[in-house]
Chains A and B, each alone.
Chain A
């Protein structure tokens, strides 16, 4: 797209007039609402026909319902008497009161307002002050799968909800891995988090005190993809371990000194799961060729669930395959990653604010964005299949 002041092109500041350039605006690309949906949409839409993590397994109980908005849909999450998780639309059929503020009564949930009851399929099973139940009374019930310590829900067409398509996060409950994580409520569009995780060059600048080092932006990376997955691999040979990794090496190899080979292999699986195979091994001991025995290996497990167009639930965990029975290390790693991700959280919030404050500007891409751009392309195709645009904002609102 070329910079133009043609009167047929509009931006938000002047919906029917010529483009108004921001100060020094020769660098700004005007937004053309008639242009085809672009993979560089700033407020990215989310597919609905997909599994999203709604909660950690322990958050969903048979005691009281959990309210959470998943992909724009308010949901009441609870467990029935068999312990199976249930996801119902969080609004009563009758007068739309939130069911999540109601009570769980065995296999039913009761609306807090007039006491209507619903079973796990969303069918009304009790109405006040009448001898029959209105056959139309029901709330949407969403397919649910409990897997990898998470409760996943599907808010799209239930006929397409195939449990076999839950993204692979097997390290979360494998006996060969140990670790723990947290949830970040991120004040940004989910795609900004995916962009962040698909390009770890930012570590050098955002996380300079822990995992950042200048070799990150100096080393080459390789991108591969298929219809639902993207992989970005990067190896740094014979370097000094940054503080975070030096500590981990010393947990496994007490007193370790010397150079390491470091790897970051980012595995994306649509729509929002990114598992990053990370680690370092003593330099020249064969890690790039597959022998990681002289190193430490972690998996940063990330799965991002859009909440609204501008907020996200970011579930993460750090899993490791050494010193499995040490709670001290589990806690230290969780706290360490918590600190690192706090830096990302601040940056993402600031980025979202700047995006919203500059509706006339578009995204440009760098070579380092290749991984993120493949993610956007895959998501764009999923959205196209649902007949929805890739941009969540209506034209003229900073699409």
Chain B
């Protein structure tokens, strides 16, 4: 298992673009310096301007010809941080700045059983893993969860390749995933202690699985996941971040992040992973008008409930589920949600 964390930038040419499901585009890139992409790898692409980098991560769905052709798939997301819209404007022949395949979600060797759970576009991280497991003759299962078949990219391909190892759960067909039952099944299996579950999908789904996993006392390192910090409990909306120590109030649009907005405003903030994993961008929360949609995997569930801190790179403020009730008590009427933070 290779865990390459080095990031080397290069140019890449768009070779093909094709719609593979409603709102999902398959983009084939030809990197300048091809290296084979192992299952679980992603590439970062830079969608910034000359002055600012704006990187976004996309899983490699397929690597061909020793990495000379890398297939990504991008869903045009309402909750997008702006990346998917940009990616959907790409045409064959365009050039972009991209990294070599980066590995932070490697498929291990030697587990007695593998369960892959994909929610929505999260399937892109698991397609290559499923193929590798099939080639190895491993014991594995693929669980696909989606709102509707129309938007579920790769569902048909996976069924064709893996047959009844694939289980489909489709909301609008009345077959949603019962997370508790899925994890209970893992826990009751003879090889439970050596079963690994790989998941990629909306944070709500992953939180539910993680809750059930710890509930069954399954080994924490066997639960593997990848999140690019792009999904939350709530849809992204515009909000305001207040920084009283500098007397600043900055608007954060639905397509950008607090971290990007603060950097653009010239504030000196610390970050590393920019996807809610490392905790380097952590700041103190002084006040919230609305609620915080944390979206990170650095803080524990308890810490998120206390909301004394947040990760600038992925967390957002939202009016929240009880928006109307909140609006009444909020000092600023119908104005956007706001969060007041203290920078280190």
Interface: B184 (CB within 8 A): no
B297 touching A140, Cβ below 8 Å: no
B contact residues, range: 20 to 34
Q: A132-B298, A132-B300, A387-B66 known; A122 and B108 CB under 8 Å?
A: yes
CB–CB A131/B300 < 8 A: yes
Q: Say yes or no: B277 contacts A136, CB within 8 Å.
A: yes
The answer to whether A134 touches B298 (Cβ under 8 A) is yes
**Complex Cα spacing A130 to B313, Å:** 18
CA distance A143 to B227 in the complex (A): 27
Are B225 and A138 interface neighbours, CB within 8 A?
no
Chain A residues, CB < 8 A from B92: none
Q: Judging by beta carbons under 8 Å apart, are B298 and A143 in contact?
A: no
> Bound complex: CA of A134 vs CA of B299, how far in Å?
10
Partner of A131, one of B5, B66, B303: B303
Scan B282-294; emit 1 where CB is below 8 A from any A CB, else 0.
0000000000000
Pairwise interchain contact A141-B1, C-beta atoms closer than 8 A: yes
CB-CB contacts of B1-12 with A at 8 A, as 1s and 0s? 111010000000
Whether A121 lies near B299 (C-beta < 8 A) is no
Instruction: Give CA–CA (A134, B284) in the complex, Å.
Output: 20
- Would B300 and A140 count as touching, CB distance under 8 A? no
- With a cutoff of 8 Å between Cβ atoms, the chain A residues found around residue B136 in the complex are 159
In chain B, positions 19-38 with a C-beta closer than 8 Å to chain A are 38
Structural contact, A130 and B279, CB atoms closer than 8 A:
yes
Given contacts A122-B1, A122-B3, contact A136 B104 (CB under 8 A): yes
Say if the beta carbon of A119 comes within 8 Å of chain B: yes
A185 to B110: give the CA distance in the assembly, Å: 31
In the complex, which residues of chain A have a beta carbon less than 8 angstroms from the beta carbon of B278?
A: 134
Given contacts A122-B3, A123-B224, 6 further A-B contacts (CB under 8 A): A121-B108, A124-B221, A130-B298, A134-B277, A135-B105, A142-B1
A22–B75 alpha-carbon span in the complex (Å): 64
Interface of A is mostly: loop
Give the complex CA separation of A142 and B106 in angstroms: 12
Q: Which of B2, B132, B297 contacts A135 (CB 8 A)?
A: B297
- Say yes or no for A351: interface residue by CB 8 A criterion: no
Give every chain A residue within 8 A of B106 (Cβ-Cβ). 138, 140
Note all chain B residues with C-beta closer than 8 A to A141: 1, 108-109
Bound together, the chains give a CA A136 to CA B132 distance in angstroms of 20
Mask, A285-303, CB within 8 Å of B = 1, is: 0000000000000000000
Q: Hey, which chain B residues are within 8 Å of A140, CB to CB? A: 1-3, 106
Q: Which residue of chain A is the closest to B66 with respect to CB atoms? A: A387
Name 26 interchain pairs, CB-CB below 8 A, sorted by A: A121-B1, A121-B108, A121-B110, A121-B221, A123-B221, A124-B221, A125-B220, A131-B303, A132-B300, A133-B221, A134-B273, A134-B278, A135-B104, A135-B225, A135-B277, A136-B104, A136-B105, A139-B3, A140-B2, A140-B106, A142-B1, A157-B38, A159-B109, A159-B136, A161-B109, A387-B66
Nearest 3 CB-CB pairs, A to B? A131-B300, A136-B104, A123-B221
CB distance from B294 to the nearest CB of A (A): 12
